[in-house]
Amino acid sequence: MQPAELSAVELVAAVRQGDLSASQCTAAFLDRIARLDDTLNAFLHVDREGALAAAAAIDARRKAGQPLGRLAGLPVAVKDALCTRDLPTTCASKMLAGFRPPYDADTVSRLRAADAVIVGKTNMDEFAMGGSNENSAFGPVKNPWDLSRAPGGSSGGSAACVAADMAPVAIGSDTGGSIRQPAGLCGITGLKPTYGRVSRRGLVAFASSLDQIGPMARSAADCALVLEAIAGHDPLDSTSLAAEVPRYTELLEQPLTGLRIGRVRDHYAEGLDPEVRKGVDEAFAVFEAAGATVHDVELIGGPVSATPAFKLGEKTGDPLAMYLVDLYTVATNLAGVGGISFPCGFTKGGLPVGFQLQAPALAEPLLLRAADRFQRLTDWHLRRPKQIA
């Protein structure tokens, strides 16, 4: 199989076993970026030379029998709101054109320490202010499922590049839904961890009391792998939690028997697209079949967004309509808890429908386990956009 057809978990295993070199893996994704990004505009900067050098160093260490990090050889794209010492950090604004920070964000440092390969910086709403990725000073990102539609925002570049297999994993930031909402509109999995679970140091802030960095990937298992590497206490971030980091990947196998999932009544109000409702209702049925029980509540599971991906320009003249795009996601940030979104179906027009789960603080193992179980029982997360080959 080609590297773009493998999950992040499979890619790391292949590099460790010598079935695939880090250089081969990295080059395959860089070539795909070079071929597709003129169409999608998901990246603001691609570091081909630096990424191939990092991959070659990993290959040399593996050949010499030296230990490798838990993400060895895994290409990762990083939202341009995170500082990178050797790459431009512009927050999609011309005001920061050419700016290269003198340090890495804590998340970037942890990725490098885990032997991930940073392939580039992704497009976003300028300074993360937006919900559609149409506010970038460098042009909007296109949704790989329909190039006339928005990918969501503000982490739209990260979502689009994963959906188009230009990177197996991307890093986003979530202030009111900016990981989960674009993940939902682009048909991938996005995890917003508990506030403080991942250090915010080096993230250009939108709202410091709400911002949280998290992984975006095709599956919950891939998100679990990356979260193990980037989570943890940072003494230089006063909001960072001094809590032990679980081995998220080892907790995915636990059954869902006894799990209670709340179905948010208010999410079924006027404005919810009928096809989105259908996909969400069918997702609840999958969880019930897996041993969970579903109860009507005021807050925990429901749709990520009331509608599928909307047309570019459709909401830019209506601030209230744009704000409502994050209506179902912002409560997670206000409460400081974790949330995850993942695909649960498609509309008749072929657009992804996203499902969202929320859980108490530091319950990421439960969120990842529930999403992983759902993805073992369905194949929505494995589907690829037909327009992007």
The encoded tokens of residue 100 equal 């290269």
Active site residue 178: yes
Active site residue 121: no
CA proximity to 168, closest of 15, 57, 361: 15
CA proximity to 41, closest of 199, 188, 150: 150
Angle at 79 between CA 252 and CA 144, to 5 degrees: 80
The encoded tokens of residue 172 equal 């986003």
Residue by residue, what is the 3-state secondary structure of 340-355?
Answer: EEEEEEECCCCCEEEE
Residues 6+ apart with CB under 8 A from 274: none
CA proximity to 58, closest of 86, 85, 27, 80: 27
User: In 188-210, which positions are buried (b, 16+ CB within 10 angstroms) versus exposed (e)?
Assistant: bbbbbbbbbbbbbbbbbebeeeb
Angle at 134 between CA 156 and CA 85, to 5 degrees: 55
Query: What is Dmax (Cα atoms) for the chain?
Result: 62
Catalytic residue among 132, 136, 154, 219: 154
Active site residue 173: no
Number of Cβ within 10 Å of residue 57's Cβ equals 14
Handedness of CA 251, 252, 255, 260 (dihedral sign): positive
Strand spans (E) along the chain: 43-46, 75-79, 117-122, 169-174, 189-192, 212-217, 260-264, 293-297, 301-303, 338-346, 352-359
Catalytic residue among 7, 21, 79, 315: 79
CA proximity to 104, closest of 209, 203, 236: 203
Catalytic residue among 155, 173, 178, 199: 178
Number of Cβ within 10 Å of residue 88's Cβ equals 17
Catalytically annotated residues: 79, 154, 178
